[in-house]
Amino acid sequence: MSRSFVTSDHHFYHENIIKYTGRPFAGVEEMHETMIRCWNEVVGPADLVWHLGDFCMSGHLDDMRRILEQLNGEKILILGNHDTYKKEEYLNAGFKEVYAHSIIIHRVLMLSHEPLAMSEDMPYYNLHGHTHDRDMMENEDKRRNVSVEKTGFYPVNLGKIRNEVLKKMNAKPVKSDLSEQARTAGEPVVKNRETRKAIADAIAGKGISRTYDSIEEMLDDLDEETSS
């Protein structure tokens, strides 16, 4: 069975990122070699990788294509602030799909480039990049920074993260229909307008996700994936 991974902020061909975030490399060649090796050590040819943005600097379209050819697995990109090419150019370079907005997968995981404002009443867990080696927002227990500086430059097994999150939520039923919750409570479940918009945008793009009838069914599926 194929596996899913998540990662963010490789910044291929960005020499200054070595200095900005204290990456332990002498130059971009060493950085590229290490990041490609780390990727391929954990990702297989049949696996899927969600990349949460800032994959490669602008001005290196052909170089980016060559980098993608060296990386195992299918890749889906959520655009970051440094991802400035057109969607078609990313697709032609080798990404399976490209999104300009946050995505909800498996009902509870919100994938985004920048960290989202998360409140305790939200039935979601945010995986993000952008902040590199820093965690600087409230409610860090509702999100995880998967920038390469935080993961040793390795993609992280998404099934294991989902298992951790879902098992914590298992004691409380998770409802993915926010409009139904709002009608039941008589008010918006999430009061922050920007956060509600982020959720709405993510739900609009969730067609690629598999849906489940119950938490138990999802956990069984994830246990099977992570054990393979």
Q: List pLDDT tens digits, range 113-129.
A: 999 888 777 888 899 99
The CATH number that applies at residue 190 is 3.60.21.10
Q: What is the pLDDT of residue 168?
A: 74
Q: What is the pLDDT of residue 167?
A: 78
Domain extent at residue 130:
4-227
Give CA–CA dist 135/11, Å, rounded. Answer: 19
**Positions of E strands within 39-164:** 48-51, 74-78, 97-99, 103-105, 109-111, 125-128, 143-145, 156-157
Q: What is the pLDDT of residue 111?
A: 96
Contact yes or no for 80/52 (Cβ under 8 A)? yes
Low-confidence ranges of the chain (pLDDT < 70): 136-140, 170-228
Best CA proximity match to 36, nearest among 60, 64, 3: 64
Please report where in the chains the tokens 């965690």 appear, as a residue.
135
> pLDDT tens digit string along 179-224?
444 444 444 444 555 445 544 544 444 333 444 444 455 455 555 5
Q: What is the pLDDT of residue 226?
A: 52
CA angle (73, 62, 20) in 5-degree steps: 80
Contact yes or no for 182/188 (Cβ under 8 A)? yes
Q: Is the dihedral of CA 87, 90, 95, 101 positive or negative?
A: negative
Q: What is the pLDDT of residue 140?
A: 65
Q: What is the pLDDT of residue 190?
A: 45
Number of domains composing the chain:
1
